[in-house]
Chains A and B, each alone.
Chain A
Amino acid sequence: MNKYQKIAWFNLIVIMTTIIITTTAIAIEFRIRGYSTIGLWFIGILALLKFTPFMFKKPESRSGVVCDERDSLIRKRALSFAYTTFWIVFVLLSYLLFIIIGPKNSVPTMTLPLMAFGGALFMKIVCSVAILVQYGRGEKDG
């Protein structure tokens, strides 16, 4: 397993853990108090994602090669796929919102920051999965 695979797994584990813990905390707090404020603080676990550039630096071979042209290509394709998928989902959701709510109604101002935050998480998840899938395809023999 090379650097990008480890980072992809790390990202997926951190994001999924955050989603599960935050959702559970909000649900429990909501059930007890009727509203939730503390639960949202668990989103702070996502700060761990900022440490990925400092992790997994150890080269897998004696020649010191951490990543090569194939790794860069896989990463570029994954980023491109994640970006394209994000825009498709973003446009579809915008139209869906328009259809559901209607042209004369409005959405809370919190919707935009939530969309930006959710979009960033979505892109990170799709990119990580795309990286793992591409590596999986090339490793069946060996």
Chain B
Amino acid sequence: MANNEIKNQVRRLRFENGEMTQQQLADKAGVTRQTIIAIEAGKYSPSLTLAFRIARTFGVSVEQVFQYEKQEP
């Protein structure tokens, strides 16, 4: 479920958007607060649909919220 290769800027974007609470973001994205907590902690990688919904909530592109960082072996 967790994917450490995917980093996210959800926490930073929440604070840049008027210190939006996790609950407010969850309500706007149509998920539970627990899911936002898990995403911010990097313990859950959202589906593409949810990633787009979160990005749209902040008014930015998906790449600005989620970054794929391939670790070299």
Residues of chain A touching chain B, judged by Cβ–Cβ distance below 8 Å, are 2, 60-63, 65, 67-71, 73-74, 77, 134-135, 137-142
Contacts and interface: CB of A to CB of B under 8 A. Distances in A.
Contacts of B40: 141-142
Interface of B: 1-2, 22-23, 26-28, 30-35, 37-38, 40-41, 43-44, 46-47, 49-50
Shortest 8 CB-CB distances between A and B: which pairs?
Answer: A142-B37, A141-B41, A138-B38, A63-B27, A68-B31, A70-B35, A138-B43, A68-B35
B72 to A, nearest CB: 27
Chain B interface, >50% SS class: helix
Contact of A134 (B1, B23, B32, B47): B1
A142 B47 CA distance: 21
B8 to A, nearest CB: 13
A2 to B, nearest CB: 6
Contacts of A68: 30-32, 35, 50
Chain A interface, >50% SS class: loop
Contacts of A60: 32-33
Contacts of B31: 65, 68-70
A9 to B, nearest CB: 15
Given A69-B50, A70-B44, A134-B1, A141 B37 contact: yes
Contact of B26 (A63, A67, A73, A140): A63
